[in-house]
Structure 1
Amino acid sequence: MPHVSPRLKPWLRLPAFAINGIEVALGIALIQLAAATLAGPQAAALVVSGAVCASIAHLANTPVRTWHRVGAAALLSVLAALVVELLRAQPLALGLAIGAIAFVAMMTLAWGARAGAVSFAPLLATVFAMAVPPSAHGAQGAAWIAGGAAAYLGWALVSGAACQPRYRTLALVEALGATAELFRSRADVLGSAGSEGTPATPLRAWIRDEARLAERLQIARDFLFAAPPGARGERDIGVLLRAIDLRDVLLASRLDADLLGSDATGQAIRQTVAGALRTIAERLDAAAEHVRDGTRPADRAGEPAHAALERLGVPADEPRARLLPSLRDRVRRLDEDARALDRLLQGEPARLPLTREQLQAFVAPEGWPLAALPPHLTGTSPVLRHAVRMALALATAYYLALLLPWGAHPYWLVLGVAVVLRGKLGETLARRNARVAGTILGCLVVVVLSHVATPAALNGVFIVALGTAHAFVMRLYWLTATAASVMALLQAHAVDPGSGFAIGERVADTLLGALLAWSFSYVLPSWERRSVRESVGRVLRDLLSYATHSLQPGRGDPVEERLARRRAYDSLSALAAALQRSRVEPRGVRLPSREIATVLDHGERLMAHLSMVRMTLARLKDERDSAGRVDPLLAGASGELARRLDLRAPPVEPQPARSADLALLPERPAADDPTPWLERRLGLLIDEAAQIQRAARSALGR
């Protein structure tokens, strides 16, 4: 195993967001130093303003994504600063322009999550341009801002390319770590099932970790599938695909748990399976450490994770004895996949199921196609409604600031609204509280620094605050708000030293800005109930698409099947996120939580049944006579699913007798004769589809 120097280990443990924060801070520091040396401190402050605005969109990303996002942020920032400069002498027109800039900035969200950071850059540029003192007005000031934005774009491309190998490694590390966490969450849910008064905490953790894993897997796909060809790249892709398959098989571990009962034997079986899942999670954690540190794991033979299930004593005449072989097979499959992942890290050649060209289909789309914009030019679009809401809020904040007795710095009130007001009420409330607390902390820090720090030290604090604010924006927003307050106060002071810090006014502006943002959350609101019909419909369509591909053994396109599986996971995650956001909305407009939760529960169960069907079909594919027996079953199940996952079809009445029959397990183990188990699984699959349809109709009020 290669030796890792103790001096290097702390750097290897830095997560991607910390490296990105250091990368941004270092770039700003170098640009500031160069500008101050060549043009003086006043010009350097303007150059840094442009660079900071462009840096908002500089995240841990591939070079192509960095070019698209940082380039767009730089362009929009320069245009916003130029508009402010042209209208500075006309306060009334400037207020309208601020609203127009906000509207255009928020409309970029039509391109989805990729525009999240880009959308804030022109708003920050507007604030910085408003803070420019009279001595720096004019075309020259705007040119310095543009130069800073262009300089940072160049830095982002160069530094991002240099960090690519590490970013790819850490993306895989985070995917493996998230997979391990999901195993532990599933073990907690399984271990707590069957007991009286089972708390909901393990289930909430499972749902949270499902969403987190989906995000981490997509980030890893975007990095690894776009990496240059090579042995290391193929190994990492192989490891990632193993993790994706592990997630799919893990989903099946929830099936049939209700058949175990709540007596001592049932609890013992659950705890044994839960222990096996935790053992596999530890193996995944160890694999993540080896990937992160660049070391090769030792060959850890050890006892198979399913061995403990072999030792469980269940009487042969008891129905649960028929289920044990199936449980052992699922745990064995998980254990084998985890060990295969280890072997890849030990140097075993990766045999990828898809070509590199096929893998590109799983990379998230990038760029700014104009076709994404027209669907959001309607009054029902959440993007358009939020754009109008933000435009009204920022214009109101600006005009109100002109009337306040401390209105010499209206940009701070505009900034206070811009950073708090989000598209959803829950996000706005979270930002409001963190912003107020962070601003007060940041102001206290600046008060202390203003009495003890030298100008050079303040400049160093500004760089550290910038990197901290950038790194933690998606993780600890109160820390980002604190660092951003320090950064904004110091930057405004650097641009216009004569204005002072005006701490009391800044706190008052922040409190008023938070109040304004909260108030405007109710202007043209985009309650989750407005989009629930489309969200539920998408879940049913994507589940049917995945089921259709899964029930075509050997005849379907493997790329399309994997894409359909990812879409089904994504649609379930999106509906779960909508349900979570809706819980803080006014009671009268909240989503029907019980019905939506039922859709999610049965949707995941349907996915789990499909996973078991795929594993059973893999066992049957080598049998020559299987097609004649299995194909009619698959065709019939596919037709039933198409009818039951269609909201336009007549509702299917509950069939308690059929459900009771499905709970009877075949007498022969699946290893001896998989066909009866497949037939039972397909029946359960059809029953889950009926349950989803009923829950969906109830959620939509049909």
Structure 2
Amino acid sequence: MNNVLPSRVDLQRRLRAALRTALSHYVANGIGVAIGLMLISAGVHVFFGAAAASAASVGVIVTAPPDLPGPRRGKFWQMLPAPLLGMPLFFGVQMLQDDPLGLGLLIVPAAFISFLAMAWGKRGVPVAIALIFSAVFSLAVPTHEGRSALDGALRTTAYFGLGAGLYVVYAVLANLALNGRYRVQLLADTLLALAQLMRVQARRFGRADPAGGAPLPPDPALTSQLLARHAALADQLQSARDVVLESPRTPRRQRLAGMLLLVLEMRDHLLACELDLDTLRAQPGHAHGLRALQSVLRDMAGDIEQLADALLLGRVPPPLEDRRARLAGLRWEPDGTGTGDASPAPWAGPGPSPQLLARALADRTGHINDEALRLVALARGEAAPNLAVVRASWQMFVSPTAWSWSPFFSLWRWDAPPLRHALRAALAMGAGYIVSLALPWGTHAYWILLTIVVVLRGSLAQTLERRNARVAGTLLGCVLALGVLSTHLSPLGLIAVLTLAQAVAHGFAVRRYLITAVAATVLGLVQSHMLNTGVSTSFALFERLADTLIGTGIAWACSYVLPSWERGQIPALVARTVAAQARHARVALGLGQLQAVDDAPELAWRLARREAYDSLSALVQATQRSLKEPRAVRPPVDSLQRLQAHCYQLLAQLTAVKTMLLLRRGQLEPGRIEAPLAQAADRIDAALLAAPGAAAPAAPARPEAAPGPEPLPDPFANDLNPWLVRRLDLAVLLAGQVRSEADIARQPGPRAP
């Protein structure tokens, strides 16, 4: 029986994960792209024939990469560059099909220009892929026999352009139609990411020796996982902001936007739960209470997952249990039995007693409970969102959609990563083309180039991941494609297969590339078969695998040419992170919000908070990527991880201060806290923004190590001023530690060759 129950639980967990995947925004987006491919291919097939439909489907496939869930405004301009710039490239390849030298001289600079689009970041990557796809897939489109080169190229390009143009219109309309569903799905994904972070945080509460119940020292792997979860949530939040906060004009949109803003508050309170945790863990007898907090946090994570599932299924979530009473009933005795009087015993040591710290930690967990209750109340329609903040947030927090020339003008530095990646890609494409000409099965030369395009990434870590997935996916995809083509399906049946393969390939391109590699192999082979009508359905499995291995080998080798090691980017990321921390501290410690009559100070703080989290997320991700690089060129990883941990701790201290200023202002005396707030802001500025190498200002002694004449009062009594001053002193201390680690991390790495 003990062996059966875990398997059932595991099966239920897998089924639940599969259902969430099926209802996710990336699957919905993939299905939408596939339906567009099917409609356009079938329509062109009816009116112009099979050859025209094949060329038009290539136009759709080339145009589709930028079609991702996003805001309604700017969708047309996001979709337009791929077909507009890709069509001349498609035509040029068609014209030079019979001129190997001229074709090579076109493909190499085309690859360089296409990959320059990655200078526009996440918006530019799909455009770059689409542009180079237009050249690679044009190699697979046969020339029209019996026609002049110009006539055949013009005719094929016209059908390509027809498919691409129709798809741009379709993509804009589909994004408009799916906008409401995308809002729900992106919010649900954000809730699931928050729940995962809560579970990792809960593991931090429960680390104790199973034999004796004694607390164990912090686990570096668990800390690293916590940082990674924070970074993943920050990325997910920005994707959700761009869609959920756009034009919240209807009550339903306003509720979803209000829920997203509550997620931001929950993240802050969750981060504040790190405060005093290590101090508590060092005290004997508190493992029982921490495990009780762990149980509460896990239960709340389950509630958040249940809310996300209800949103995805279109159901009204059930009411949420208020766990405040459960938290208030926790006992914090030194013996750890969990029984007896809740009143703390007299504390003779320096600083606050462990009992007071524990009660404060339970109260911060209670803030998460309060926000979760508001979240479910909004989802059930039982509460109204803060419309002033929602409407202002849509103007302030949605990413711009207009294209700018600034990234292009900033490219032309020898150490600029996009420029080096473009040169690297051009070299790889040129090498792949030369190798393809020398192979005895040169009729499928485009497969090597396609493999290079999808495997070669901007960093070595991403290239290695794509390399392995591409080889495994090609093997599985060849077997599937062989089975499909051996059934001798009709043209419409093959279009249906293309539709399904396109849905899977597009939907999982970012989430799990192995699945995309399988679907893309089926898509490419079936598409090639349709383009080369009359050719036998059989193909050599060895040739496809050999092409894939050659392409991945070239991409892997070229990833070491003109490398942009993460160590070269770390100093700029560290500088951005430190500056963002300093600005957030300055805004968070201001009293403007308590004295203002509008929401301007709060919005300024929210903007500063977003940049603090986003910059820290970028630094965490760069550090993780650097672990796949050669040891000789890695940045000081240990120092970077300490820097990241201290930055999150600084954010947590400032969050606790902000919570006191906003939620418990009645227990603070403005006249007594104005000077400490201003002094702390100045000291944090001096610590973080001083020139590298300059002497850091002296930090205050730790309150725990410097007993004052009077012990800190109960934080739940009327006077919170001593606790706020303690938080400020700890924040200043952490700022000095951030500065020390930043000085080490900002040391210049190896210069670009």
Q: Match for residue 157 of structure 1?
A: 172
- 2:699, 2:732 within 8 Å by CA — same for their partners in 1? no
Task: Select 1:560's aligned residue among 583, 589, 604.
Answer: 604
Return the offset for 1:222. Answer: 0.9
- Shifted more, 648-657 versus 323-332: the winner is 648-657
Structure 2 counterpart of 1:322: 356
Give SS of 1:524's match: coil
Counterpart Cα distance in 2 of 1:646 and 1:125: 47
Q: How does 1:515-534 map to 2 (within 5 A)?
A: 515-534=553-572
Unaligned runs of 5+ in 2: 1-17, 146-151, 209-213, 335-343, 348-352, 594-599, 749-753
Q: In structure 1, how many angstroms separate the alpha carbons of the residues matched to 2:700 and 2:582?
A: 24
CA 1:63–1:579 in 2, change beyond 3 Å: closer, same or farther?
same
Matched residue, 1:105: 114
Kindly indicate whether the alpha-carbon contact (under 8 Å) linking 2:471 and 2:548 is maintained by their aligned counterparts in 1. yes
- Report the 3-state secondary structure (helix = DSSP H, G, I; strand = E; otherwise coil) of the residue aligned with 1:408: helix
Report the secondary structure of 1:452's partner residue.
coil
Q: 2:467 pairs with 401, 413, 432, which one?
A: 432
Deviates more, 1:324-333 or 1:663-672: 663-672
Q: 620, 642, 651: which is aligned to 2:685? A: 642
**Aligned mates of 1:21, 1:163 — CA distance in 2:** 12
Larger mean Cα displacement after TM superposition, 307-316 or 422-431:
307-316
- Aligned to 2:482, the other structure's residue is in SS state helix
**Structure 1 residue corresponding to 2:139, chosen from 130, 139, 155:** 130
In structure 1, stretches of 5+ residues that fail to align are 1-8
Contact kept in structure 2, 1:306 and 1:328, CA below 8 Å = no
For residue 485 of structure 2, what is the amino acid of its counterpart?
Answer: S
Kindly indicate whether residue 246 of structure 2 is the aligned counterpart of residue 226 of structure 1: yes
Cα distance in 1 for residues equivalent to 2:570 and 2:553: 29
**Alignment partner, residue 4 of structure 1:** none
Residue 200 of structure 1, CA deviation: 4.1
Matches within 5 A, 1:58-457: 58-135=67-144, 137-192=152-207, 195-196=215-216, 199-262=219-282, 265-304=285-324, 306-307=326-327, 310-313=330-333, 315-318=344-347, 319-347=353-381, 348-354=383-389, 356-456=391-491, 457=493
SS of 1:88's equivalent?
A: coil
When normalised by structure 1's length, the TM-score is 0.94
- 2:703–2:726 CA contact under 8 A, matched in 1: no
| Aligned counterparts of 1:37 and 1:25: Cα–Cα separation in 2 | 18
- Pair 1:513-2:551 in alignment: yes
Match of 1:220, SS state, is: helix
Contact 2:258 2:385 in 1 (8 A): yes
What's the offset of the Cα at 1:616? 1.6
CA-CA distance at 1:224 after TM superposition: 1.6
Counterpart pick for 1:677 among 723, 728, 735 = 723
Q: After the TM superposition, which of the residue ranges 570-579 and 352-361 deviates more from structure 2?
A: 352-361
Q: Retained in 1: the 8 A contact 2:433–2:445?
A: yes
**Alpha-carbon separation, structure 2, partners of 1:609 and 1:492:** 59
> How far apart, in 2, do the equivalents of 1:652 and 1:372 lie?
35
Structure 1 pair 198/255, CA: closer, same or farther in 2 (3 Å)?
A: closer
RMSD: 2.4
Q: Matched residues in 2 for 1:628 and 1:52: separation? A: 65
TM-score using structure 2 length: 0.88
Q: 1:597 to 1:663 in 2, by over 3 A?
A: farther
Measured against aligned partners, the alpha-carbon deviations of 1:539-568 in whole angstroms (never above 9, x if no partner) come to 110000100100112357222211110111
Please state whether the residue corresponding to 2:301 is helix, strand or coil. Answer: helix
Worse-superposed segment, 251-260 or 550-559 = 550-559
Secondary structure of the 1:412 match is helix
Out of 582-591 and 656-665, give the one that drifted further. 656-665
| Paired AA for residue 106 in structure 1 | F
Counterpart of 1:480 in structure 2 is 516
Query: 2:271 and 2:308 mapped to 1: Cα distance?
Result: 21
- Counterpart of 2:358 in structure 1: which amino acid? L
SS in 1 for 2:486: helix
Decide which moves more: 30-39 or 193-202: 193-202
CA spacing shift, 1:430–1:662, aligned 2, 3 Å? farther
In 1: Cα distance, 2:39 partner to 2:48 partner: 14
Q: Distance in 2 between matches of 1:508 and 1:439?
A: 10
- Cα shift readout 1:302-340 (whole Å, capped 9, x = no counterpart): 542653653444542242122233123212211111111
In the alignment, the residues of structure 2 paired with residue 403 and residue 701 of structure 1 have an alpha-carbon distance, to the nearest angstrom, of: 46
Equivalence for 2:623: 579
Q: How does 1:484-499 map to 2 (within 5 A)?
A: 484-499=520-535
CA distance in 1, matches of 2:281, 2:320: 35
Q: Deviations over 1:486-537 (max 9, x none)?
A: 1101111111134553432221111111100001001110001111111111
- Greater shift, 223-232 or 11-20, is seen at 11-20
Pair 1:175–1:358, CA change in 2 (3 A):
closer
| Cα drift, residue 473 of structure 1 | 1.0
C-alpha deviation, 1:263, in angstroms:
5.7
Contact 2:700 2:729 in 1 (8 A): no
Q: Measure the CA separation in 1 of the matches of 2:405 and 2:489.
A: 49
Q: Distance in 1 between matches of 2:21 and 2:101?
A: 53
Helix, strand or coil: the match of 1:192?
A: coil
Kindly indicate whether the alpha-carbon contact (under 8 Å) linking 2:206 and 2:294 is maintained by their aligned counterparts in 1.
yes
Q: Which moved more, 1:87-96 or 1:198-207?
A: 198-207
2:673 corresponds to = 630
Per the alignment, in what secondary structure is the counterpart of residue 84 of structure 1? helix
**Equivalent residues of 1:128, 1:492 under 8 A apart:** no
Whichever residue aligns with residue 668 of structure 1, its letter is P
Contact 1:438 1:478 (C-alpha < 8 Å) held by counterparts: yes
Seen in structure 2, the aligned counterparts of structure 1 residues 303 and 620 have a Cα distance that, compared at 3 Å, is closer
Equivalent residues in 2 for 1:603-618, closer than 5 Å: 603-618=647-662
> In the TM superposition, what is the alpha-carbon distance from 1:460 to its structure 2 partner?
2.5
Bigger shift: residues 345-354 or 589-598: 345-354
CA 46–301 in structure 1, closer or farther in 2 if over 3 Å, else same: closer
- Give the residue type in structure 2 aligned to 1:458: L
Deviation track 1:18-45 (CA, whole Å, cap 9, x = no partner) reads: 1111111111111111111101101110
Cα drift, residue 356 of structure 1 = 1.6
Paired with 2:103 and 2:322, the residues of 1 have a C-alpha distance of 70
- Cα distance, 1:663 vs. partner? 8.6
Deviation by residue 1:365-424 (Cα, 9 ceiling, x = unmatched) = 223111221112211110111011111111221122112222233211111111111110
Deviations 1:605-635 (A, max 9, x none): 0000000110122255446x82221111011
The answer on whether the counterparts of 1:173 and 1:289 sit within 8 Å (CA) in structure 2 is yes
Tell me the secondary structure at the aligned position of residue 443 of structure 2.
coil
AA in 2 matched with 1:40: G
Match runs of 1:452-463 below 5 Å: 452-456=487-491, 457-463=493-499
Partners of 1:427 and 1:573 in 2: how far apart?
Answer: 17
Q: CA separation in 1, counterparts of 2:652 and 2:318?
A: 33
Aligned-partner residue type, residue 153 of structure 2: G
**Is the partner of 1:295 in helix, strand or coil?**
coil
Q: How many equivalent pairs are there?
A: 693
Residue by residue over 1:152-187, the C-alpha shift from the partner in whole angstroms, topping out at 9 and shown as x without a partner, is 111111222111111111111111121121111110
Taking a change above 3 Å as real, the CA distance of residues 301 and 482 of structure 1, as seen in their structure-2 partners, is closer
Deviates more, 1:275-284 or 1:585-594: 275-284
Question: Residue 374 of structure 1 aligns to which amino acid in structure 2?
Answer: F
Q: Which moved more, 1:574-583 or 1:283-292?
A: 283-292
